[in-house]
Amino acid sequence: MAYLNKVMLIGNLGKDPEICMTATGRKKVSFSLATSRRYRDASGEQKEITDWHNVVGWGKTADIFEQLNVRKGMSLFVEGTLTYRSWDDQATGQKKYITEIKKQE
């Protein structure tokens, strides 16, 4: 049986992308992307819900973001895989979880 993990989003950047180098020398870009959907509630009133997505890109993707001077508010199409990770918060000792869209190199 074949499996597929693919996400495609069109939305607006919620803040300027953060570009950094990891300890291993890989360039990384991370940003939040807002997508909205509209619906009508039980009374027929139109409502809008905004979902926020954490997106991470590596290598060439980070280079492109830097070269194109991508900024908050810009519309963007993102394609990647859905990933989950966890870590222990050093301040509280609690386990933290995050869901991200990972853009492949």
Give the domain CATH number at 25: 2.40.50.140
pLDDT at 103: 85
Structure tokens at 62: 């980070």
Residue 56 lies in a domain: yes
Average pLDDT over every residue of 79-87: 93
pLDDT at 3: 93
Whether the predicted pLDDT of 105 surpasses 90 = no
**Can you name the residues that pair with 53 across neighbouring β-strands?**
33
pLDDT at 59: 92
Interval 2-34: pLDDT, tens: 999 999 999 999 999 999 999 999 999 999 999
Whether the predicted pLDDT of 1 surpasses 90 = no
Interval 43-79: pLDDT, tens: 999 999 999 999 999 999 999 999 999 999 999 999 9
H or E element that contains 65: helix 60-68
Residue 2 lies in a domain: no
Q: Which segments of the chain are extended strands (E)?
A: 7-13, 18-21, 27-40, 46-58, 75-88, 95-103
Compute the mean pLDDT over every residue in the chain, rounded to the nearest whole number.
93
Q: Using the 8-state DSSP alphabet, how is residue 104 labeled?
A: P
- Residue count of the chain, please give it: 105
Domains in the chain: how many in total? 1
What residue type is assigned to position 40 of the chain? R
Residue 18 lies in a domain: yes
Residue 72 lies in a domain: yes
Closest CA to 86 of 75, 99, 76: 99
Domain that holds residue 19: 7-103
User: Strand 46-58 vs strand 95-103: parallel, antiparallel, or unpaired?
Assistant: parallel
Residue 17 lies in a domain: yes
Residue 33 lies in a domain: yes
Residue 75 lies in a domain: yes
